[in-house]
Amino acid sequence: MSLIKKNILNIIDELEQNNSQKDSKVRLVAVSKGQGQEKILEALKSGHNIFGENYLQEAIDKQKSLTNYKIEWHFIGPIQSNKCKLIAENFSWVHSVDRIKVANKLNDSLQEKTLLNVCMQVNISNEDSKSGLNINEIDSLAKHINNLDKLTLRGLMAIPTNTSNDEILRNEYNQLKNIYEDLRKKYASIDTLSMGMSNDYLLAIENGANLVRIGSKIFGKRK
Ligand SMILES: *Cc1c(COP(=O)(O)O)cnc(C)c1O
């Protein structure tokens, strides 16, 4: 068995064992940014077909060489508004929507009857350098996205503070989990709390995440 396959199977097993949600499975997005296409093929061979990418051009190059496979592509990187059309056309999920302008442009780029799943990225760590909404902006963006006909509002995404201090991380996840539960009461389409990466995914799912984005723990170091 290849190492990548082993890694994926181990992680899926851990996600099942540690899932704190009664009503949903934890979904795994394999983050393939900075990884060669041969590694994506390895993951596909092990039965995994959900991939996340941060950089549009890199992603499109890979997508072009993988058209024979049925892949669900997630865009998880910062969004420049002039790239919205290509993002909308080439991904089925976007996790990093953080402003009205971007939401509008994604919506306007889509053809009749196509739908794009979106999460709002929240700047939970409150670091100025990070992209994402401030907590007090979430409600108005949610309302806006909910009124756009081609976007389906699926939930929230966050990248927590870069720390190994579990208390700080727990606190951030719980804040987000509470906001998520409130939103869920207002919008029936919301079912996704996207948090947890290679170093923190177990802690994230203990604290309510139901989608994790894992790169290096599956594929090894990035180029
Ligand atoms: C790179 C990246 C990941 C994956 O990070 P790993 O530490 O390699 O698991 C997840 N989410 C986002 C938004 C990223 O940019």
Mean pLDDT estimate for the chain: 95
For the chain, how many structural domains are there in total? 1
Long-range contacts of 132-135 (CB under 8 A, 24+ apart): 132/96, 132/98, 132/158, 132/159, 133/98, 133/99, 135/175, 135/179
**Does residue 34 have its Cβ closer than 6 Å to ligand 1?**
no
Q: Is the pLDDT of residue 130 over 90?
A: no
Cβ burial of 206 (10 Å; 0-12, 13-18, 19+) is: middle
Is the pLDDT reported for residue 159 higher than 70?
yes
What pLDDT is stored for residue 23 in this prediction? 81
Question: Which residue puts its alpha carbon closest to atom 11 of ligand 1?
Answer: 213
Q: Is 31 in the pocket of ligand 1 (CB under 6 A)?
A: yes
pLDDT of amino acid 86: 97
CA distance 31 to 49: 11
Rg (CA), the chain: 17
Nearest atom in ligand 1 to the alpha carbon of residue 33 is 1
Domain residue limits at 175: 3-219
CA of 113 to the centre of ligand 1 (A): 31
How far is residue 86's CA from residue 192's CA, in Å, rounded to a whole number?
Answer: 23
| Distance of alpha carbon 192 from alpha carbon 154, whole angstroms | 6
CB of 76 shorter than 6 A to ligand 1: yes
Give the CATH number of the domain where residue 56 resides.
3.20.20.10
- Give the confidence band of 21 by pLDDT, cuts at 50, 70, 90: confident
What was the pLDDT predicted at 4? 97
Residues 6+ apart with CB under 8 A from 25: 15, 16, 19, 210
Per-residue pLDDT tens digits for 92-114: 999 999 999 999 999 999 988 88
What are the residues facing 98 on neighbouring strands?
none
The verdict on the CB of residue 217 being under 6 Å from ligand 1 is yes
